[in-house]
A and B are shown apart, each in its own frame.
Chain A
């Protein structure tokens, strides 16, 4: 469903607008993600289930929000439609990640859903997550003890290099994937969203379940990322942490540019 249509449907709760042909492709892709995710979670042995019981009020509110904003694509009963995947069993973590980072509701068709300003308030997001989790169990919101950044940075950095750096870059600066997709930069992403992404594997990111990276491992990874964020590079300005390409570009433009400008001054006749 195109972004315009989605916005309208949220505002007026009516189905308007025509679907762009590419929308179907994109949504099938997203559908695969969610069905994949759901399947994964049913197969999972050690995924956490809802830790905190949500209040009935919250669930009711979430239900209303869902019908108004999400049901168009994901179906009234989370069963999914041709426009969007089933959300049965994706859990509160997936909802919190997708809605909390602004990826959902989808605004544009494209290779992947980009991060954008969140469309819902924190309470609305929590209500939606509670509602989705109340229909079918799935990975819950991470517990605060894993998000405090108090883990082992050395171990976390090593795990990050082995499991994450090939897509997200060793400094979390992001990188390219196939066909226009990309691994986003991790700078400024909250610990909770990082944790949720590892657990749920949004879009093309693989799932890192608790058998692969234990909650303590995830805490360590978050710790190492927070360390990088809190401690700017000892060498000075980072040039985007993009590696030798950025350094080479900088050298040619700034370094050699400055020096050539100085040679022009040096050889110009004084007036």
Chain B
């Protein structure tokens, strides 16, 4: 009686169906409880064995995600102590060389976090290192996406979302950099103030409203704090969620390789392998950040002291991700400012704003531009090797050169002192690098790509040199070539190939200007190209007799037990 009753309801209600809740003890009971209230079993069924491809470069976005989680955790701890107020107080904490000094409550509480809360300094350093890592990993992630063409249809919109996250992350970074109200961040805000004032017509008012009066005012820290801990993180979290939803909808891209096609995903299931790896990876990222925070000082606000408009430190720089903007300001030559009657037009300040704006908009729009050039409306789930898209790779190299020129300009003074150069020369060299460098980088990168493609083609057709010299019966010496096997060769021959758009009149016999433009851009993109090896070519290269020496070599090679070559 007692043994049969528990089984009766299940078997009578749904005969033949296995009820997880009745097996597996406590875990089963909890699962059953949850599923009956959330339909969670459907989610597990849908996603539990979803395949995720394995490659180190696919982890970069995760680094960004995990450092953001670390930022949220450490940042929440900091908010318990931080006071976003510019009210003047007298410092009475533990750091001797600042005792008795007047400073804002923000600076005072930042110092208290550092010196009077156990683990407070550790958390500050975790927060700051994680922030630097967050943006650096976003940049590296974006570069991976760009150079492998992962932004192509259907992922253009996710590129836009990722790009917005990058911009928001910089905003988060800068607002956070300003909060302690130390000398470094105060001078950073002063530069922002100057930058805003340089905007024609409305600049003076933007600065006046933002600072709540004249610089520095008593408002700015509180306002930045609201942005830093409320508005910006809320948008970031929402966009991250959307970003990940799209990753699930699109399924992850994969690198070309044997067995991988545009219509499949090859990899490991989320449960259990991927969950173990990705879950473990969170702890690894957190651990590395923690190590950096434990051993390396970041932003020693106690050295900088409270903000005061008069002093400044040598080597006043923004955090690395704002470096490109600071560098742009430094590279402008003297004299780029004009007065127009009763108004002043500061191109020396406004031009960097405009150029950087255009630069990041260009980054934002690139997927749409390339889609327009190729006219390719297919879905692309197989990534490109960078060499197989030479013009795209070259544009990327040019963009990196431009960015790095600006970025290094932000440390022109440190480059000067550490490489024993005059800072004027450093600036001139970087002006050249930023303006001319991208063209040189474009040219070099494109040639390297084409050369690598040629090499790939050569190897795919004729194998690679083995270094063994063989004397033929006729007395001739030849070098034995090792043929690739089909798996190795596949990596070299499977890629997309485009050719320039040929102008043709439309139905009414006219050629539109937009078509001409598109044809010109398409020519620029694709006029130098190396087509993938075709089956006919491969057969021709391998056929005996009609291809001269190579045929002989291969025959010899096979006879001598070299790598087998497979003909398709």
Residues of A within 8 A of B (CB): 111, 153-154, 156-158, 161-162, 165-171, 173-176, 178-180, 182-183, 224, 227-228, 233-239, 241-252, 254-256, 258-260, 262-264, 266-268
Docked pose: A259 CA to B66 CA in angstroms: 12
Q: Whole-angstrom distance from the CB of A156 to the nearest CB of chain B? A: 7
Say whether B296 contacts A239, CB under 8 Å. yes
Given A111-B422, A247-B320, A256-B140, residue A161 in contact with residue B308 (CB < 8 A): yes
Main secondary structure of the interface of B (DSSP, over half): helix
Which of the segments B57-65, B206-214, B395-403, B484-492 contacts the partner chain? B57-65
Say whether B416 contacts A176, CB under 8 Å. yes
Among A156, A157, A237, the residue within 8 A (CB) of B297 is: A237
Among A165, A236, A259, A266, the residue within 8 A (CB) of B296 is: A236
Say whether A224 contacts B315, CB under 8 Å. no
Chain A residue contacts of B289, Cβ below 8 A: 255
Docked pose: A96 CA to B351 CA in angstroms: 50
Say whether B300 contacts A248, CB under 8 Å. no
Say whether B311 contacts A162, CB under 8 Å. yes
Among A166, A167, A243, A255, the residue within 8 A (CB) of B136 is: A255
Say whether B313 contacts A243, CB under 8 Å. yes
Interface status of B364 (Cβ within 8 A of chain A): no
Q: What 1/0 flags go to B53-86 for Cβ under 8 Å of A?
A: 0111111100100000000000000000000000
Say whether A233 contacts B422, CB under 8 Å. no
Interface status of B414 (Cβ within 8 A of chain A): yes
Chain B residue at minimum C-beta to C-beta distance from A157: B97
17 contacts between A and B (CB under 8 A): A170-B304, A234-B297, A234-B302, A235-B296, A236-B296, A238-B297, A242-B315, A243-B317, A245-B315, A245-B414, A249-B320, A251-B320, A252-B136, A259-B133, A262-B288, A266-B56, A267-B56
Interface status of B100 (Cβ within 8 A of chain A): yes
Say whether B320 contacts A245, CB under 8 Å. yes
Say whether B98 contacts A154, CB under 8 Å. yes
Interface status of B132 (Cβ within 8 A of chain A): yes
Say whether B296 contacts A167, CB under 8 Å. no
Docked pose: A268 CA to B58 CA in angstroms: 12
Chain B residue contacts of A246, Cβ below 8 A: 414
Chain A residue contacts of B11, Cβ below 8 A: none
Among B125, B277, B292, B300, the residue within 8 A (CB) of A171 is: B300
Say whether B305 contacts A157, CB under 8 Å. yes
Q: What 1/0 flags go to B318-329 for Cβ under 8 Å of A?
A: 111101000000
The 9 closest A-B pairs by CB, nearest first: A175-B314, A248-B320, A235-B297, A180-B422, A176-B413, A263-B59, A263-B56, A170-B313, A153-B97
Docked pose: A173 CA to B313 CA in angstroms: 10
Interface status of B568 (Cβ within 8 A of chain A): no
Chain B residue contacts of A245, Cβ below 8 A: 315, 317, 320, 323, 410-411, 414
Docked pose: A263 CA to B278 CA in angstroms: 10
Given A235-B121, A247-B320, residue A165 in contact with residue B54 (CB < 8 A): no
Chain A residue at minimum C-beta to C-beta distance from B424: A179
Task: Indicate the member of A166, A178, A235, A254 with the most B CB atoms within 10 Å.
Answer: A235
Beta-carbon contacts under 8 Å, B129-177 to A? 129, 132-133, 136-137, 140
Docked pose: A238 CA to B475 CA in angstroms: 70
Q: Whole-angstrom distance from the CB of B112 to the nearest CB of chain A? A: 13
Beta-carbon contacts under 8 Å, B24-62 to A? 54-60
Docked pose: A245 CA to B415 CA in angstroms: 10
Interface status of B99 (Cβ within 8 A of chain A): yes
Q: Whole-angstrom distance from the CB of B300 to the nearest CB of chain A? A: 6
Beta-carbon contacts under 8 Å, B83-120 to A? 96-101, 114-115
Q: Whole-angstrom distance from the CB of A225 to the nearest CB of chain B? A: 10
Chain A residue contacts of B477, Cβ below 8 A: none
Interface status of B284 (Cβ within 8 A of chain A): yes
Docked pose: A162 CA to B136 CA in angstroms: 34
Say whether A179 contacts B313, CB under 8 Å. no
Given A161-B308, A251-B320, A267-B55, residue A239 in contact with residue B101 (CB < 8 A): no
Chain A residue contacts of B137, Cβ below 8 A: 256, 259
Say whether A166 contacts B416, CB under 8 Å. no
Among A157, A244, A260, the residue within 8 A (CB) of B98 is: A157
Say whether A252 contacts B292, CB under 8 Å. no
Docked pose: A259 CA to B412 CA in angstroms: 28
Docked pose: A182 CA to B421 CA in angstroms: 10
Chain B residue contacts of A154, Cβ below 8 A: 96-101
Chain A residue contacts of B414, Cβ below 8 A: 176, 242, 245-246
Q: Whole-angstrom distance from the CB of A229 to the nearest CB of chain B? A: 12
* Known contacts A170-B303, A235-B298, A255-B292, then 6 further A-B pairs from the complex at CB < 8 Å, ordered by chain A residue: A234-B115, A235-B300, A241-B303, A243-B313, A255-B136, A262-B281
Given A259-B288, A262-B284, residue A153 in contact with residue B96 (CB < 8 A): yes
Docked pose: A54 CA to B93 CA in angstroms: 47
Docked pose: A116 CA to B518 CA in angstroms: 64
Chain A residue at minimum C-beta to C-beta distance from B412: A176
Q: Whole-angstrom distance from the CB of A26 to the nearest CB of chain B? A: 14
Docked pose: A95 CA to B456 CA in angstroms: 69
Among B60, B308, B314, the residue within 8 A (CB) of A263 is: B60
Say whether A171 contacts B303, CB under 8 Å. yes
Chain B residue contacts of A174, Cβ below 8 A: 314, 417
Chain B residue contacts of A238, Cβ below 8 A: 297, 300
Docked pose: A77 CA to B294 CA in angstroms: 60
Docked pose: A130 CA to B422 CA in angstroms: 37
Docked pose: A222 CA to B77 CA in angstroms: 37
Say whether B288 contacts A237, CB under 8 Å. no
Chain B residue contacts of A259, Cβ below 8 A: 63, 133, 137, 284-285, 288
Chain B residue contacts of A224, Cβ below 8 A: 97
Docked pose: A75 CA to B292 CA in angstroms: 57
Chain A residue contacts of B319, Cβ below 8 A: 244, 247-248
Chain A residue contacts of B423, Cβ below 8 A: 176, 178-180
Chain A residue contacts of B56, Cβ below 8 A: 260, 263-264, 266-268
Interface status of B299 (Cβ within 8 A of chain A): yes
Chain B residue at minimum C-beta to C-beta distance from A181: B422
Chain A residue contacts of B55, Cβ below 8 A: 267
Say whether A251 contacts B136, CB under 8 Å. yes
Q: Whole-angstrom distance from the CB of A179 to the nearest CB of chain B? A: 5
Docked pose: A249 CA to B321 CA in angstroms: 11
Q: Whole-angstrom distance from the CB of B444 to the nearest CB of chain A? A: 23
Docked pose: A56 CA to B171 CA in angstroms: 69
Docked pose: A173 CA to B316 CA in angstroms: 12
